């Protein structure tokens, strides 16, 4: 962060992608907790520069202030490259994300799918699976919880000490349709076996389910 740069101010609140382990840092800088949506956010008219590492992939970054059209709940139309490139942590991709061979019909990509709620839920799921759930043990535990969501239709996971990455992951998973949950579960199960990351082509498969 450049302390001498111009302040980045928005007229609306800005939601943060803040891991549970870093909530103390965010709170110390002035972030607030939204118990209804279970997320940390920066209040309106507060400088966003100290919070850059937690800014979501779709936050408005076109000058010192943002238009009301970028208010919470209204998603700007970004390409998949913009979404993955905006985060400080590079999101690994699978081998299936390689460009289509010459002479073959191009595969459907994330740029071809609508930016609906399922799209944004899957972007968060991808980032959490690839950058938070590192070990096979962690991923197998999450798969067990995903299976419960598939069975009952909602997540019953609740951390008594406050929302954590697992709870946020399962909440996003529960927002998907039944067919998409089954598809994503199958892909995640395969990724544990092969130790692969969730790639953009995997997300396209889920959105097409």
Q: What is the pLDDT of residue 181?
A: 92
Q: Which of 32, 165, 136 is nearest to 157 (CA)?
A: 165
Instruction: Report CA torsion sign: 20, 26, 28, 31.
Output: negative
Q: State what percent of residues in the chain have pLDDT above 90.
A: 14
Instruction: Report CA torsion sign: 21, 25, 26, 32.
Output: positive
pLDDT in tens, 43-94: 888 888 899 899 877 665 443 334 433 333 333 333 444 334 433 344 444 4
CB 109 within 8 A of CB 204: yes
pLDDT, mean over the chain? 76
Question: Picking from 12-16, 90-94, 117-121, 190-194, which range would have the lowest pLDDT averaged per residue?
Answer: 90-94
pLDDT in tens, 165-199: 888 899 889 889 999 999 999 999 998 888 888 88
Q: State what percent of residues in the chain have pLDDT above 70.
A: 73
| 82 vs 142: which has the higher pLDDT | 142
DSSP 3-state percent helix, strand, coil across the chain (nearest 5): 45, 5, 45
Question: What number is the average pLDDT over the span 132-147?
Answer: 88
Q: Which of 173, 172, 206 is nearest to 187 (CA)?
A: 206
Is residue 21's pLDDT more than 90?
no
Beta strand extents in the chain (DSSP E only): 9-10, 14-15, 32-34, 39-42, 65-66
Instruction: Round to whole Å and give the CA distance between 38 and 84.
Output: 23
CB 16 within 8 A of CB 52: no
| 40 vs 103: which has the higher pLDDT | 40
Strand, helix or coil at 34? strand
């Amino acid at each position: 962060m450049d302390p001498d740069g111009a302040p980045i101010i928005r007229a609306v609140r800005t939601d943060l992608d803040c891991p549970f382990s870093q909530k103390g840092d965010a709170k110390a800088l002035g972030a607030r907790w939204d118990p209804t949506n279970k997320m940390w956010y920066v209040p309106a008219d507060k400088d966003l520069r100290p919070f850059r590492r937690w800014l979501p992939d779709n936050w408005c970054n076109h000058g010192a202030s943002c238009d009301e059209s970028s208010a919470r709940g209204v998603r700007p139309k970004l390409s998949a490259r913009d979404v993955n490139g905006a985060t400080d942590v590079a999101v690994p991709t699978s081998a299936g994300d390689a460009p289509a061979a010459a002479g073959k019909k191009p595969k459907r990509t994330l740029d071809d799918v609508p930016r609906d709620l399922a799209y944004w839920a899957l972007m968060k799921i991808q980032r959490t699976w690839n950058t938070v759930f590192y070990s096979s043990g962690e991923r197998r535990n999450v798969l067990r919880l995903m299976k419960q969501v598939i069975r009952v239709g909602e997540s019953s996971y609740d951390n008594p000490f406050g929302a954590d990455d697992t709870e946020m992951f399962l909440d996003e998973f529960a927002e998907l349709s039944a067919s998409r949950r089954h598809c994503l579960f199958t892909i995640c199960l395969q990724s544990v076996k092969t130790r692969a990351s969730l790639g953009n082509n995997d997300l396209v498969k889920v959105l097409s389910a």
